A and B are shown apart, each in its own frame.
Chain A
Amino acid sequence: MKQSITLTVNGTDRAVNVESRALLAYVLRDQLDLTGTHVGCDTSQCGACTVLLDGHAVKSCTLLAVQVEGRAITTIEGLSADGLHPVQQAFWEKHGLQCGFCTPGMILTAVDLLSQNPDPSEAEIRHGLEGNYCRCTGYQNIVAAIGAAAAALRSGKRAGAAA
Chain B
Amino acid sequence: MGTLFGSGIKRREDPRLITGHATYTDDVKLPGLTYAAILRSTYAHARLKKVNVARAKKAPGVVAVYTGADVKERVNPVPCAWNVPNCDLKTPPHPLLAHEKVRYAGDGIAMVVAESREEARDALDLIDVEYEPLPAVVDPEMAAQPKAPQLHAEVPSNVAFTWNVAGGDADKAFAEAAVKVDLRIVQQRLQPTAMEPRAAVASFNPGAGQLTLWVTSQNPHIHRFLCSVMLKVPEHRIRVIAPEVGGGFGSKIPAYADEALVCFAAMDLKRPVKWTEDRSENYKATIHGRDHVEYVELCGTKDGAITGLRAKVYAGLGGYASTAAPGIPTILHGLMYSGPYTIPNVKGTVYGVYTTTTPVDAYRGAGRPEATYLLERLVNLYARKIGMDPVELRRKNLIAKDKFPYTVATGITYDSGDYQAALDKALSILDYQAFRAEQAKARKQGRYLGVGVTTYCEICGLGPSQVAGAVGFGGGLYDSAIVRVYPTGVVRAYIGGKPHGQGEETTFAQIVADEFGIPIENVEIVAGDTEATPQGWGTYGSRTTAVCGSAVKIAAQRVKEKAKKLAAHLLEANEADLEWRDGKFVVRGSPDQAKSFADLALMANVAWNMPAGTEPGLEATAFFDPSNFVFPFGAHICTVEVVVETGQVKILRYIAVDDCGPQINPMIVEGQVHGGVVQGVGEALQEIAVYDEDGQLLTGTMMDYAVPKASQMPKIETAHTVTPTPVNPLGVKGIGETGTIASPPTVVNAVLDALAPLGVVHLDKPLTPARVWAAIQNGKKGGAR
Contacts and interface: CB of A to CB of B under 8 A. Distances in A.
A42 B279 contact: yes
Nearest to B665: A95
A98 B19 contact: no
A35 interface: yes
Contact of B674 (A88, A125, A137): A137
Nearest to B676: A138
Contact of B24 (A33, A34, A101, A107): A101
Interface stretch (A52-60, A127-135, A150-158): A127-135
A99 to B, nearest CB: 3
Interface string B665-679: 001101100111111
Contacts of A21: 118
Contacts of B339: none
Interface string B258-279: 0000000000000000000011
A141 to B, nearest CB: 6
A133 B245 contact: no
A42 B675 CA distance: 24
B196 A40 contact: yes
Interface residues of B, number: 58
Contacts of A41: 278-279, 701-702
Given A127-B711, A138-B678, A140-B715, A92 B702 contact: no
A19 B10 CA distance: 42
A139 B244 contact: no
Interface string B655-692: 00000000000011011001111110000000000000
Contacts of A69: none
B20 A35 contact: yes
A138 B10 contact: no
Contacts, number: 180
Contacts of B249: 135
Contacts of A140: 674, 678, 713, 715-716
B15 interface: yes
Contacts of A37: 20
Contact of A126 (B19, B193, B671, B710): B710
Nearest to A142: B710
Interface stretch (B500-508, B599-607, B755-763): B500-508
A101 B246 contact: yes
A123 B279 CA distance: 29
Interface in B1-51: 10-11, 13-24, 26-27, 29
Interface in B68-118: 117-118
Interface in A19-63: 19, 21-22, 26, 29-30, 33-43, 45-46, 48
Nearest to A37: B20
A75 to B, nearest CB: 7
Contacts of B678: 138-140
B710 A143 contact: yes
A126 B711 CA distance: 5
Given A98-B502, A98-B503, A129-B711, A43 B701 contact: yes
Nearest to A41: B279
**Does more than half of chain A's interface fall in helix, strand or loop, or is it mixed?**
loop
Contacts of B716: 138, 140
B24 to A, nearest CB: 7
Contact of B702 (A45, A95, A102): A45
B280 interface: yes
Contacts of A48: 195
A135 B710 contact: no
B308 interface: no
B165 interface: no
A134 B195 contact: yes
B707 A98 contact: no
Query: Which among B27, B675, B678 has the greatest number of chain A C-beta atoms within 10 A?
Result: B675
Interface in A83-140: 84, 88, 91-93, 95, 97-104, 107, 122-123, 125-127, 129-130, 132-140
B196 A101 contact: yes
A133 B709 contact: yes
Interface residues of A, number: 58
Contact of A19 (B26, B118, B739): B118
A76 B500 CA distance: 20
Contacts of A13: none
Query: Which among B16, B20, B702 has the greatest number of chain A C-beta atoms within 10 A?
Result: B20
Nearest to B195: A101
A141 B24 CA distance: 23
B784 interface: no
Nearest to B673: A138
B64 interface: no
A101 B708 CA distance: 16
Contacts of B502: 98
Contact of B246 (A38, A122, A132): A38
B671 A135 contact: no
Contacts of A103: 17-18
Contacts of B739: 138
B118 A35 contact: no
A137 B675 contact: yes
Interface in B218-259: 244-247, 249
B197 A40 contact: yes
Contact of A34 (B20, B196, B670, B701): B20
Given A135-B707, A139-B678, A84 B247 contact: no
Given A95-B11, A99-B500, A100-B244, A129 B709 contact: yes
A65 B381 CA distance: 58
B715 A135 contact: no
A110 B679 CA distance: 23
Contacts of A84: 18-19
Nearest to B17: A100
A102 B675 CA distance: 14
A77 B16 CA distance: 10
B194 interface: yes
Contacts of B708: 138-139
Contacts of A122: 715
B175 interface: no
Contacts of A137: 671, 674-675
Contacts of B21: 36, 77
Given A40-B246, A101-B24, A133-B702, 14 more contacts: A35-B20, A36-B19, A37-B20, A48-B195, A95-B10, A97-B14, A97-B17, A99-B195, A99-B247, A101-B246, A129-B710, A133-B707, A136-B247, A138-B674
The 8 closest A-B CB pairs, nearest first, are A36-B20, A101-B246, A100-B17, A99-B501, A138-B678, A76-B20, A138-B674, A98-B501
28 contacts: A35-B20, A35-B24, A35-B26, A38-B196, A38-B246, A39-B197, A45-B701, A92-B11, A92-B14, A93-B10, A95-B10, A95-B667, A98-B502, A98-B675, A99-B246, A99-B247, A100-B16, A100-B22, A100-B246, A126-B713, A135-B194, A136-B671, A137-B675, A138-B676, A138-B679, A139-B674, A139-B713, A142-B710
